[in-house]
Amino acid sequence: MTSDDTLRRWRLILGRYAARPLACAQFSAGDWQLEQTLEYLYGREYEGRGLTRTSDRGPGSLDPSQLRAVDWLARSRKLFPRDVFERMQTQAIERYQLTALLKDPDVLRSLDATPGLAKALLGMRGRLSTHMRDAVREVIQKTVDEITRRLKSEFVNALVGRRNRMRRSPFKSAQNFDWRATIAANLKNYDVERKQLVIERPRFNARVKRNLPWDVVLCVDQSGSMMDSVIYSSVIAGIMSSLPAVRVKLVVFDTSVVDLTHLAHDPVEVLLTVQLGGGTDIGRAVRYCESLISHPHRTVFTLISDFEEGAPPGALLCAVQRMSEARVTLLGLAALGEDANPVYDHQMAQRLANKGMHVAALTPTHFAQWLAEVMN
Evaluate the CA torsion angle 71, 96, 340, 332 in order and state its sign.
negative
Q: What pLDDT, on the 0 to 100 scale, is given for residue 207?
A: 53
Q: What pLDDT, on the 0 to 100 scale, is given for residue 150?
A: 92
pLDDT means per 10 residues in the chain (376 residues)?
70 65 58 79 72 50 53 78 79 70 76 80 72 86 94 88 46 60 77 77 60 89 85 96 93 95 96 82 97 96 96 97 97 89 92 96 93 86
Between strands 246-253 and 257-259, the pairing is antiparallel
Q: What pLDDT, on the 0 to 100 scale, is given for residue 190?
A: 75
Domains defined for the chain, CATH in brackets: 3-142 (no CATH), 162-208 (no CATH), 212-375 (3.40.50.410)
Q: What pLDDT, on the 0 to 100 scale, is given for residue 163?
A: 47
pLDDT tens for each residue of 252-309: 999 999 999 999 999 999 999 887 667 899 999 999 999 999 999 999 999 999 999 9
Q: What pLDDT, on the 0 to 100 scale, is given for residue 169?
A: 43
Q: What pLDDT, on the 0 to 100 scale, is given for residue 167?
A: 44
Burial 288-317, CB ≥16 within 10 A → b, else e: bbbeebeebebbbbbbbbbbbbeeebebbb
Q: For residue 220, give the nearest of 246, 259, 247, 263 by alpha carbon.
A: 259
CA atoms lying within 13 Å on the CB side of residue 320: 26
